[in-house]
Chains A and B, each alone.
Chain A
Amino acid sequence: MHYEWDFSVVWQFRGALLSGLLTTLWLTLLSAFFGLVGGVALALCLTNRVATIRIPATLAVELIRAIPLPVALVYLYYVGPTLAGITLPSFTTSVLVFSVNFAAFAADVFRGSIAAIPRSHIDAAAALGMSRLMVLRRVVFAEAIRRSFPALNALLVSLLKLTSLAALINTPELVHVSGLIVSERPRVFEVYTAMAALYLAVIVPIVYLLRRLERSRWFALEPIGN
């Protein structure tokens, strides 16, 4: 098959593509931030001894994990305004859905990491005369973050890719913008090749950076040291 490639369309719409990429990155960053905060809060509920806190949190996490992201996005964006009478912009809806979803998965990662902390590490800190809060900060959080870091990295990269689903509710992220360009100028191969290249250009360095951080003394569970 012979095909005449013409990337001038990509150059012509470079501003729109970059704006779409920027929206994708913002969506990822905000969702990861709120998701992490929510994930820590949920993890503390999941590991709580009080059943009235733990059981609702467990049910919420399981429910959120069971709902497919496209369903959550479409439901909240199109059905939400009718049911609750609240209309949210598509970007806000996307951040909300991705944050909640990320929080549920991150909470489960944190819960597992907290459960994996050897009791002896907590005892050794408490034996110095640390208060409960100090032990929580110096040992439980410090160690849970290190134990969670590799799994959270995978979640973050996955989130970056999943933000493309926000196109379903017209959030002007990279996939949606590319679709608009194609409908304007039908150079499907060129536009989608550029879109894929932009995703790769962002994801590959992020994966590399996160791998480096994973091995650094700030995030490694057992740093190799000097």
Chain B
Amino acid sequence: MIQVTNVRKSFGSSEILCGVTLVIQPGQLVGIIGRSGAGKSLLARCITGLDSIDSGSIECDGLALNPRTTRFAPESVQVRKRVGMVFPPAVVAPYRTALDLILEGLVYVQGLSCADAHSAAAPWIERLGLSAHILKYPRQLSTGQLARVSLARAVVMKPDYILCDEITANLDPILAGEVADIIRQLVLDGIGVVLITHQIAFVRREAKYVYYLSNGCIAEQGEAAKVLASPETGDLEAFITGVERGR
């Protein structure tokens, strides 16, 4: 279980996260929604130790991150081995092929040989429809293919949790549906998945629990279907209306 307790994070005088508390259970799909700049991505970065926190604590299956834990402290590195992060599609090194990107963690973090890493990743490469594109460089791949490379890169590491940051943002409905199928399967496999997204419909349909982040605070939380069907705050209602109008 990932337990985030009263986490605060500021940059200079501006407080981005103001006492966030949330729980992510294994085998559960959790949605984190909110306007741009609400602090969703920063929260994910703090959970994985990529950014340190100013106060509060983050606990991941016995590993604790506190304000003194630095980015490359052993606890942070260990947390990242358990909590995979799927970045938006544009965030990949342009000089590595899709295969290099997918196998990188298996070879350089888990220490597998290239052949073993390839065998371990092959089912995911197949499942994500990347077999025909595996030797291509990022500039030769579409946004959808890059999104799937990003996802493959995280899932082949067999993490206990996966944080997906705007993974379906630039995908057409068919591709987004395919990614949704894979995420659903990951949850069935017992992986805790956090979806950071603006796609309300997707969260409403797939997520068990949802957190609405507004100005760095959890403004609403609860069962996804219930919270999104009848929001308690005008802020969330306006957000849902705005997102659905913009679809």
Would you give the 0/1 interface string for B22-61, flagging 1 where the beta carbon is closer than 8 Å to chain A?
0000000000000000000000010010100000000000
A129-B77, A130-B109 in contact; A143/B95 too (CB < 8 A)?
Answer: yes
A-facing residues in B120-155 (Cβ within 8 Å): 135-140, 153-154
Which residues does chain A contribute within 8 Å of B97, judged by CB atoms?
225
Contact B72 A128 (CB under 8 A): no
Residue from the list A129, A135, A225 in contact with B135, Cβ < 8 A? A225
Residue ID in chain B nearest A134 by CB atoms: B108
Contact B108 A130 (CB under 8 A): yes
Interface: B239 (CB within 8 A):
no
Which residues does chain A contribute within 8 Å of B77, judged by CB atoms?
129-131
Contact B50 A123 (CB under 8 A): yes
Highest count of chain A CB atoms <10 Å: which of B85, B87, B91, B93: B93
Contact B139 A124 (CB under 8 A): no
Residue from the list A121, A128, A222 in contact with B137, Cβ < 8 A? A222
Interface: B157 (CB within 8 A):
yes
Contact A124 B87 (CB under 8 A): yes
Minimum CB–CB distance from B56 to chain A (whole Å) comes to 21
Contact B94 A221 (CB under 8 A): yes
Contact A221 B48 (CB under 8 A): no
Contact B108 A123 (CB under 8 A): no
Contact B94 A222 (CB under 8 A): yes
A131 CA to B80 CA, complexed, in Å? 10
Interface: A146 (CB within 8 A):
yes
Interface: B104 (CB within 8 A):
yes
Which residues does chain A contribute within 8 Å of B157, judged by CB atoms?
128-129
Residue from the list A125, A126, A139 in contact with B71, Cβ < 8 A? A126
A143 CA to B94 CA, complexed, in Å? 9
A223 CA to B119 CA, complexed, in Å? 26
Minimum CB–CB distance from B32 to chain A (whole Å) comes to 17
Which residues does chain B contribute within 8 Å of A130, judged by CB atoms?
77, 105, 108-109
A222 CA to B137 CA, complexed, in Å? 8
Chain B: number of interface residues, binned into ranges: 20 to 34
Interface: A220 (CB within 8 A):
yes
Residue ID in chain B nearest A143 by CB atoms: B93
A120-B87, A120-B91 in contact; A138/B104 too (CB < 8 A)?
Answer: yes
Minimum CB–CB distance from A110 to chain B (whole Å) comes to 17
B-facing residues in A78-98 (Cβ within 8 Å): none
Residue from the list B104, B136, B154 in contact with A125, Cβ < 8 A? B104
Minimum CB–CB distance from A187 to chain B (whole Å) comes to 51
Which residues does chain B contribute within 8 Å of A132, judged by CB atoms?
72
Which residues does chain A contribute within 8 Å of B64, judged by CB atoms?
none
Which residues does chain A contribute within 8 Å of B137, judged by CB atoms?
222-225
Contact A129 B81 (CB under 8 A): yes
A138-B104, A223-B137, A225-B136 in contact; A128/B93 too (CB < 8 A)?
Answer: no
Contact A146 B95 (CB under 8 A): yes
Which residues does chain A contribute within 8 Å of B104, judged by CB atoms?
125, 128, 138
Contact A123 B45 (CB under 8 A): yes
Residue from the list B87, B105, B136 in contact with A129, Cβ < 8 A? B105
A160 CA to B135 CA, complexed, in Å? 37
Minimum CB–CB distance from A225 to chain B (whole Å) comes to 5
Which residues does chain B contribute within 8 Å of A146, judged by CB atoms?
95
Contact B71 A129 (CB under 8 A): no
Which residues does chain B contribute within 8 Å of A224, judged by CB atoms?
137
Contact A222 B48 (CB under 8 A): no
Interface: B180 (CB within 8 A):
no
Given contacts A121-B92, A128-B84, A225-B97, 20 further A-B contacts (CB under 8 A): A120-B91, A123-B45, A123-B50, A124-B92, A126-B50, A126-B71, A127-B50, A127-B80, A127-B154, A129-B78, A129-B109, A220-B95, A221-B94, A222-B94, A222-B137, A222-B139, A223-B95, A223-B137, A224-B137, A225-B137
What are 17 A-B interface contacts by the 8 Å CB criterion? A121-B92, A121-B93, A123-B45, A127-B85, A127-B87, A128-B105, A128-B109, A128-B154, A128-B157, A129-B77, A130-B109, A131-B77, A134-B109, A139-B93, A143-B93, A222-B138, A225-B135
Counting from the closest, the 7 A-B pairs by CB-CB distance are A128-B105, A129-B81, A132-B72, A120-B91, A127-B85, A129-B80, A222-B94
Q: Which residues of A contact B (CB under 8 A)?
A: 118, 120-121, 123-132, 134-135, 138-139, 142-143, 146, 217, 220-226
